[in-house]
Amino acid sequence: MPKSSPGKPGDNPNVDISALRLAINEIDEKIMDLINRRLLLAQQIGAVKKQGGIQITDRKREKEIIERLLQKNDGPLGDDGLRHIFAAIIAQGRNVQKTDRKPK
């Protein structure tokens, strides 16, 4: 990613759209890597749950995750968007906990 962030739209008229898109691509790849790391951890948790006879779905924990993130979120992502994104990530975490294979 470029050393200086692009800032708000319109802040720098010299930044062209291709540079902004390149920065987005780099961020997307980092997000994907982080999600995959999270899912690998969820898979490990699934193995521990399986050994302990613990149910995969833990709605209380899922709610705690969302509430903690809502408290930390200072936008521009809105609460509904945050809930939607993390509901999908958490659902994928449950999916990998149900299997013994790596997420794909």
Span 35-61, pLDDT tens digits: 999 999 999 999 999 999 999 999 999
Span 5-30, pLDDT tens digits: 556 656 666 678 999 999 999 999 99
- Given a cut of 70, whether residue 102 has pLDDT beyond it is no
Among 16, 24, 15, 100, CA closest to 56:
100
- Given a cut of 90, whether residue 31 has pLDDT beyond it is yes
Task: Let me know: does 68 contact 17? Beta carbons within 8 Å.
Answer: no
The class of domain 17-97 in CATH terms is mainly alpha
Q: Where are the domains of the chain?
A: 17-97
